[in-house]
Chain A
Amino acid sequence: MLHIKCPHCGMRSQNEFSYGGDATIKRPELGKEVSDQEWDDFVYNRKSLRGKHWELWQHLSGCRQWIKVERDTATHEIFKTLKANQEIS
């Protein structure tokens, strides 16, 4: 079982979280002309990295906050967690 350290609540089991996917995807800027390719990249295309991967999780059965988690997709090791509004360094 994964153990995820919620930056708000501390170490909790994976059962309390739900997954939100790649945390590095940015929505195209509001009010700007957006090409089909940019929408395509935002909505569908993913790198799906093997190795270190920044991803979103929601502490659904806890504080309900979205958080960022750096996890290895090959070993499932978790390195770092951040609040959703903290930038990935």
Chain B
Amino acid sequence: MQKYSVFNLIKNAFSNHENWDLAWKDPTPKKEYDVVIIGGGGHGLATAYYLAKEHNITNVAIIEKGWIGGGNVGRNTTIIRSNYMHDDNALFSEFGMDLWRRMSQDLNYNVMFSPRGIINLAHSDAQMNVYARRGNSMRLNGIDAVLLNREQVKEIIPMADFSENVRFPIFGGLMQPSAGTARHDAVAWGYARQADSMGVDIIQNCEVTGFEVTGGKIKGVRTSRGDIKVKKIGLCVAGSTNILAEKLNMRLPIETHLLQACVSEPVKPVLDRVVTFGAGHFYISQSDKGEMVMGGDLDGYNSYAQRGNLPTLQHVLTEGIAMMPFLSKLKMLRTWGGIMDMSMDGSPIIDKTHIEGLYLNCGWCYGGFKATPASGWTFAHTIAQDRVHELNAGYNLNRFNTGHLLDEKGLGTKTWIS
């Protein structure tokens, strides 16, 4: 593999950059693999990378129905954070933060990780108390958290609405200074390029049509490009999890829902943090190109359509304008949608299943992007060692049966339904 460096950049400039190697190959599927990862998104690519790097398992194929990075890893709002209260979520995410910090060097690919900090705004005394509690929990787990009062927030984001007679006045906020954003496509491409260089086959335009299970064991997978014999399969297909689960006669605590995001026209630098509205569901950051990147609520009904409807967008942007009135002057550049694997307690699942050799990675709701490296790392461990790592022990599938839900919001089932 060609190393990306300033020297290679200069060298290739002499040939008009026409002689760069392909970043990954386009192999035909082999008849047999040790491990097949279904789903060539961020999590699937990261899993294959860590299987090769941490566990020396390189006879691996990633099977992707479309093209790699065409799903949620290419459709998110690029926010990276670990501001969780519960231990299982906090320790898992903070482990991921460490991988994010080293990712560009690790992958020899600039993922433009920008630890600019995230601020969750509070709009009442009660909410300040809740944030103080969450901040304290975070600090006990070694995660940086700062409770800001109204004046401190005003200094950092003066463009927010600090006038007196607003419906949701800003009382303060909780900041995680080490949180931030990254270039989402680069994450997918960086993992793909390294996985490919270590011998992983990335097979695109290949749809899974069925599974071969005998005696409670995975034996193979049927695809649109032929049958493949395999010892272990990792399912990493986010919003399509239920479709594949049905082929395995499994019912999962997952519903697939639609989430939209949008960007404004590019403007000069105005916002250097990620900010979330505390009286609803709205988040915003500014991309390096100058676009305001925004998102919020689900459309609210089961959907596999990767496009949304305007009422939700209008609702979400109303919240945005309440928080930062200048947004009303901007033109919308693009909107898009992705399909989310919404789990019933709002937390993910990384676990073995009742079928030997079948491993499950799903339920990321709308928090999948930031989890990419930690999810890949722990899923690779779970597959390679055939047992969960302590970091993903809380993300077991059985918790819905035993009642040990991992309910970060404390709101019960389907916390994401508004």
Contacts and interface: CB of A to CB of B under 8 A. Distances in A.
Contact of A50 (B304, B310, B400, B417): B304
A60 B172 CA distance: 34
A1 B243 CA distance: 26
Interface majority SS (helix, strand, loop, mixed), chain A: mixed
Given A1-B310, A47-B246, A50-B243, A41 B251 contact: yes
Which size bracket describes the interface of B in this complex?
Answer: 20 to 34
Interface of B: 242-243, 246, 251-256, 300-305, 309-311, 344, 400-401, 413-414, 417
Contacts of B305: 73-76
Interface string A12-30: 0111001101100000000
Among A18, A55, A71, A76, which residue has the most Cβ atoms of chain B within 10 A?
A: A76
A40 B401 contact: yes
A36 to B, nearest CB: 6
Given A46-B242, A46-B251, A36 B401 contact: yes
Nearest to B344: A44
Contact of B251 (A1, A14, A21, A47): A47
A86 B300 CA distance: 24
Given A45-B253, A53-B302, A1 B311 contact: yes
Nearest to B240: A50
28 contacts: A1-B311, A13-B311, A18-B300, A21-B414, A22-B255, A22-B302, A36-B401, A37-B401, A40-B253, A40-B400, A40-B401, A41-B251, A43-B344, A43-B413, A44-B413, A45-B253, A46-B253, A48-B255, A48-B302, A49-B242, A50-B243, A50-B256, A50-B304, A73-B256, A73-B304, A74-B305, A76-B305, A76-B309
A34 interface: no
A46 B255 contact: yes
A10 to B, nearest CB: 19
B309 A14 contact: yes
Interface majority SS (helix, strand, loop, mixed), chain B: mixed
A45 B304 contact: no
A2 interface: yes
Given A1-B310, A36-B401, A76-B303, A44 B256 contact: no
Contacts of B256: 48, 50, 73
Contacts of A46: 242, 251-255
A66 to B, nearest CB: 15
Interface of A: 1-2, 13-15, 18-19, 21-22, 36-37, 40-41, 43-50, 53, 55, 71, 73-76
A18 B301 CA distance: 9
Among A1, A36, A48, A74, which residue has the most Cβ atoms of chain B within 10 A?
A: A48
Contacts of B254: 46, 48
Contacts of B309: 1-2, 14, 76
A49 B254 CA distance: 11
A71 B309 CA distance: 15
Nearest to B309: A1
B171 to A, nearest CB: 29
A40 to B, nearest CB: 5
A6 to B, nearest CB: 16
Contacts of A55: 301-302
B210 to A, nearest CB: 16
Contacts of A2: 309
Contacts of B253: 40, 44-46
Contact of A19 (B300, B310, B344): B300
Contact of A21 (B255, B311, B401): B255
B417 A19 contact: yes
Contacts of A1: 309-311
Given A19-B301, A44-B344, 15 more contacts: A21-B414, A22-B302, A36-B401, A40-B253, A46-B242, A47-B246, A48-B254, A53-B302, A73-B256, A73-B304, A73-B305, A74-B303, A74-B304, A75-B305, A76-B309
